[in-house]
Amino acid sequence: MILSVKEIADTIGCRSASYRMISTLLTDSRSLCIPDETLFFALRTNVNDGHRYVAELYRRGVRAFVVESVPEIMGDVADAEFLVVENALAALQRLASYVRSMVDIPVVGITGSRGKTVVKELVYAALMKAGRKVVRSPRSWNSQIGVPLSVWRLEQDTEIAIFEAGIDHCGQMEILKDIIRPTIGVMTEITDEHDGGFDSREQKIAEKRRLLEKCDTVIEGSDNMTVAGRILEALGESASLLGGVAEVSTRLDVHDGVNDCLMIYDEFTADFASLVGALDFMQRRKTASRRNTVILGDLLHREGEDTGKLYGKVSSLLQMAGVDRLIGIGEEISRHFGEFDPLMASEFMATTDDFLEKYNISHFDSELILIKGGARMHFDDIRRRLETPRHQSILEVNLDAVVANFNTYRSLLRPQTGIVAMVKASGYGTGALELAKTLQSQGAAYLAVAVVEEGVALRRGGITMPIILLNPVTTNYQALFAYGLEPAVFSVRELEMLVEEAARYGRRNYPVHIKFDTGMHRLGFIDNEIDDLLKLLHSTDRVRVSSAFSHLATADCLDEDEYTESQFAAFERMTGALAMGLDYGFKRHILNTAGIMRYPERQYDMVRLGIGLYGISPLPSAATALSLKPVARLNSTIISLKKWPSETTIGYSRRGVLDKESVIATVPIGYADGIDRHLGCGNARFVVNGHPCPTVGNICMDLCMIDVTGANAEIGDNVEIFGLDAPIEVLAETLGTIPYEVLASVSPRIHRIYYRE
C-alpha cells in the first residue's frame, strides 16, 4: 500500500499535514531500503527498543517516524515527521486494520501449529499460475508484528490475500483476527508447538479457532496438499492447479563454500518478495573481506505480468543491497538482461547445466554467495558444486531455535536486565559465528568467549557488539586491544599486566570485568584482596571496571540452596566493597541459566545465558515447562546394509554378538567424530525412520554399526544421533555426564549447517 503521512496520522490518532508518500513500513533498522518512502515504527519489546535507532535512521535518510516519545538526542530535525502515539505496536496494528478495510476481496487466514507456510505457498503458486494478483505473508510473518507488515502489502488491485496467524499466548488471536478479517479460515495440523504459553492444549486450540469465527468457509486438515486444494476450490479455482506445484522448503541454509566463500542457499518460493527477505538475510552477513554474489533463477510471476518491469525492480533491489556480481540462470531472466545495471558484473545463461559446464570452483573466491532459484531449476547441484567437501555426517544448527530460546529466557527477566550470551568453546560445539550474528540481531548485551582467538574470529566475521573474554591469560595483548575484547580479571597480577600493556598500546579507560570468587574456588578475587584491587584501580586510568561478576557453583543442585545463598551474600559483600571504593558505577551479574530460572530476584544488571540458549535445561523437566527448542541435531547416513544370522559377531574384539537374524547398518561416524566408545554395544540407540536402533559392537574411530531390523532401512537413509527424536540428554545420562560435554565433543570435522525456517 502507498499512503501519505497525513492519512496514516489520521488513522492512528495523530496530526500531520505532510503529504510525503509512504510505501514501506519498517520495524528493524537493518532492513532499510528506500529511506525517503519509509515510515519507521519505534517498537518497544522485551528484547530491544526501536527508539534507540531513530537518530541513526534519520542520518540514513528516513524522515517519518512513529514514536512513543521523540528521542532527546535528535536536535534540529525540522524536516522530519514524528507521529507520537501511546503505543507504537498498537498504532502499527491499527494502521494495518485500516488498510485491510480498504479492500473487499477474498482473504484466506491460516493458523495451526505445522504446515501454515507450506499450504500458503502451495496456494500462492497455483494462483499465480492462474494469473491472479495475490498478496501473501512473506515467509512466516505471522506474529503481532509480522501480520500487520504483511497486510500493509495489500494494493487496490489485489484480487486475493493469504495471511498466516501464529500465536503463543492467550489474547493474541483476537488482535490478529481483527487485522486479517479472513473470509476463508484454515486450521492446519495442531502439535505441541507453543503449548507452554497456554494452560492446556484445549485452550490453545480454542484460541486459534478465534480466527475462524466469522469466516464464510472453514477448512481443517493435516495433509498440506489436500488443504491447499480445498482452499483453491473455495476461491473458485480448480484443485488441479496444484498439478506440477511442489511443496516448498521453508529452510534457508548457510554453508561453508570453496575458497573462503560463504553460501546462503534459499529453497523458499522464488519470487520478488522472498528475494527481498533473502537479500536482507545476506546483508546481515556481509564483511569487508568478501564480495557479494547472487546466483538467481527465473522468478515466479503472475501469468501475463510485465516481466521486463519485474526484472527492472530486481535490478534496483540488487543495487540497493550492494550486490557486486550477478549470475542469472533461466530463460526469463536471460531475456531481460538489458534491465540490469551495466556497472554490475553480470552474466546470464539459460539452464543450470550451462552453469555447471561453464563454472568450476576456481571461479569463486572470498565471496558471500546467495543461491536462489525455483525448485525445478535444480540449484541444489550448484550448492553441491560450491560447498566445501564435507563429512557424510552433519550437525544441523537451527537458528530459529536459538532465537526462540533466547526470547524464552528474556521473558523471565526484567526489561532492563541484559543477557550475556555464552558462545565460548565454538558455541558449545555448534559453531560460534552464526550464533553470534543471530544473537547480535536479537539484542544480547554481550557475547562471552573463553580465549582471545575465539573473540578475534568473531570480530573478523563481522561481529561488532561487546565481547567479554572470560579466560584472559594471554600473551597476545595486541589482538586483545586491536579487536576490542573486554577481559575478565581475576587477580592483582593479571590486572597489573593488563595495565602495563594498556599503557604500552596507549589505551585509557579500557573496559575490564572483575571476577570474584564467592564459592566456586576456581578463579577470582577474594575478600582480603579487594583493598589491593582498589589501590591498583585508583593508581591508573588505563582500565575502568565495566562489570563485576561471579560464578554459582550449585544453582542447579536443588539440595544446595543454602550454599547458593551464601554465594549471593558474598557477592553482595564484595561488590558492595568495590562500589564503595570507586567513584563510578558498574554492572553486576552472577546468575547462570539455572540461576535465571530459580533466583529471579538476583538478576542484578545482567545474567549469563549458557546451555539454556541451546535448548537444554540444567534442571529436570524444566526444558519441557519452558518449551525450549533443541538447537543442534547430529545426523549421519547409512552407507551399508547386511543381513546376518544369529550368533554372528560384529566389529572389533567380536564384542557385538547377534541373538537373532538381524539387519546391520554401517554408519560413517565414530569416536573421532565425538561418539564416545561407551555408547557402543547396545548402550545407545540412534533413530532411523522413527525407530530407535541400538548400537552393535564397539564404536570404531570413523564408523559404528546399528541394528536396523524392522526399521525398513535403505542405504542413504538418515540416522539421527541426537536431536528432536533422540534427545541429547539421554546420551548424556548413558555416559554419566552432562549434555554440555556431549555437544561440545562433536568433532570440528563434522560439517555444520545453519538454517532458518
pLDDT digits (tens, 9 = 90+) for 703-749: 999 999 999 999 999 999 999 899 999 999 999 999 989 999 999 88
Task: Return the pLDDT at 533.
Answer: 95
Q: How far apart are CA 730 and CA 403, in angstroms?
A: 24
Q: What is the pLDDT of residues 69-127, one digit of tens each?
A: 988 777 778 888 999 999 999 999 999 999 999 999 999 999 998 889 889 989 998 99
> How much helix, strand and coil, in percent to the nearest 5, is found in the chain?
40, 20, 40
Q: Which CATH number characterizes residue 215's domain? A: 3.40.1190.10
Query: What is the end-to-end Cα distance of the chain in Å, rounded?
Result: 26
Long-range pairs of 72-76 with CB within 8 A, sequence gap ≥ 24: none
Same domain membership, residue 724 and residue 611: no
Task: Return the pLDDT at 624.
Answer: 58
- Residue 603 belongs to a domain: yes
652 belongs to the catalytic site: yes
Q: How far apart are CA 672 and CA 162, in angstroms?
A: 49
- Across-strand partners of 25? 39
660 belongs to the catalytic site: no
| Cα separations in angstroms, 269 against 117, 126, 266, 453, 738 | 11, 12, 9, 39, 41
Same domain membership, residue 217 and residue 282: no
Same domain membership, residue 427 and residue 352: no
- Residue 96 belongs to a domain: no
- Residue 48 belongs to a domain: yes
Task: Return the pLDDT at 622.
Answer: 62
Q: Which of 424, 437, 515, 629 is catalytic?
A: 424
Q: What is the pLDDT of residues 457-472, one digit of tens each?
A: 999 988 999 999 998 6
Going by C-alpha positions, the residue among 468, 402, 440 that lies closest to residue 284 is: 440
pLDDT at 33 over 90: no
Global pTM reads 0.79
Q: Which helix (H) or strand (E) holds 649?
A: strand 649-650
Q: How far apart are CA 566 and CA 529, in angstroms?
A: 19
Res. 610 pLDDT band, cuts 50 70 90? very high
Task: Return the pLDDT at 387.
Answer: 85
pLDDT at 416 over 90: no
Same domain membership, residue 232 and residue 147: yes
Task: Return the pLDDT at 207.
Answer: 92
* Total number of domains constituting the chain: 5
Q: Which domain holds residue 16?
A: 3-89
Based on the number of CB atoms within 10 Å of its own CB, is 333 exposed (0-12), middle (13-18) or buried (19 or more)?
buried
Q: Which CATH number characterizes residue 79's domain? A: 3.40.1390.10
Same domain membership, residue 668 and residue 613: no
Same domain membership, residue 118 and residue 69: no
Cell numbers that stand for 196 in this block: 507452554
Same domain membership, residue 553 and residue 691: no
Q: What is the pLDDT of residues 339-357, one digit of tens each?
A: 998 888 999 999 999 999 9
Task: Return the pLDDT at 108.
Answer: 96
Same domain membership, residue 564 and residue 421: yes
Going by C-alpha positions, the residue among 519, 573, 569, 578 that lies closest to residue 546 is: 578
pLDDT at 618 over 90: no
Q: Is 47 helix (H, G, I), strand (E, B) or coil?
A: coil
pLDDT at 200 over 70: yes
Q: How far apart are CA 174 and CA 211, in angstroms?
A: 7
Same domain membership, residue 460 and residue 351: no
Task: Return the pLDDT at 276.
Answer: 87
Of 247-251, 321-325, 374-378, 696-700, give the range with the top mean pLDDT.
696-700
Cell numbers that stand for 35 in this block: 529511506
User: Phi first, then psi: what are they for 247, rounded to 5°?
Assistant: -65, 130
Q: How many CB atoms lie within 10 A of CB 442?
A: 16
Q: Which CATH number characterizes residue 483's domain? A: 3.20.20.10
Q: How far apart are CA 497 and CA 503, in angstroms?
A: 10
Going by C-alpha positions, the residue among 363, 336, 364 that lies closest to residue 350 is: 336
Task: Return the pLDDT at 613.
Answer: 94
Q: Which CATH number characterizes residue 352's domain? A: 3.90.190.20
Same domain membership, residue 424 and residue 299: no
pLDDT at 623 over 80: no
Cell numbers that stand for 99 in this block: 488498510
Q: How far apart are CA 97 and CA 112, in angstroms?
A: 22
Going by C-alpha positions, the residue among 248, 112, 116, 250 that lies closest to residue 193 is: 112
- Residue 97 belongs to a domain: no
| Domain end among 602, 625, 648 | 625
Q: How far apart are CA 728 and CA 744, in angstroms?
A: 12
Determine the average pLDDT of the residues in 323-347. Answer: 91
Task: Return the pLDDT at 77.
Answer: 81
Q: Which helix (H) or strand (E) holds 549?
A: strand 543-549
| Domain end among 217, 242, 267 | 242
Q: Which CATH number characterizes residue 719's domain? A: 2.40.37.10
CA angle 666, 631, 321 (to 5 degrees): 110
- Residue 520 belongs to a domain: yes
pLDDT at 244 over 90: no
- What are the DSSP calls for 238-276, one per residue? -GGGGTTPPPPP--EEEEEBGGG-EEEEE-S--SHHHHH
Task: Return the pLDDT at 194.
Answer: 67
Would you say 89 and 42 are in contact if contact means Cβ atoms under 8 Å apart?
no
pLDDT at 57 over 70: yes
Res. 606 pLDDT band, cuts 50 70 90? very high
pLDDT at 281 over 90: no
Same domain membership, residue 80 and residue 27: yes
- According to DSSP, residue 128 is labeled H
Q: What is the pLDDT of residues 557-577, one digit of tens each?
A: 888 999 999 999 999 999 999
Res. 625 pLDDT band, cuts 50 70 90? low
Same domain membership, residue 752 and residue 651: yes
- According to DSSP, residue 719 is labeled E
pLDDT at 48 over 80: no
Task: Return the pLDDT at 516.
Answer: 97
Task: Return the pLDDT at 498.
Answer: 94
Mean pLDDT of the chain: 91
- Residue 212 belongs to a domain: yes
Determine the average pLDDT of the residues in 60-69. Answer: 92
- Residue 94 belongs to a domain: no
Q: What is the pLDDT of residues 534-561, one digit of tens each?
A: 999 999 999 999 999 999 999 988 889 9
Would you say 437 and 458 are in contact if contact means Cβ atoms under 8 Å apart?
no
- Residue 98 belongs to a domain: no
| Domain end among 89, 117, 149 | 89
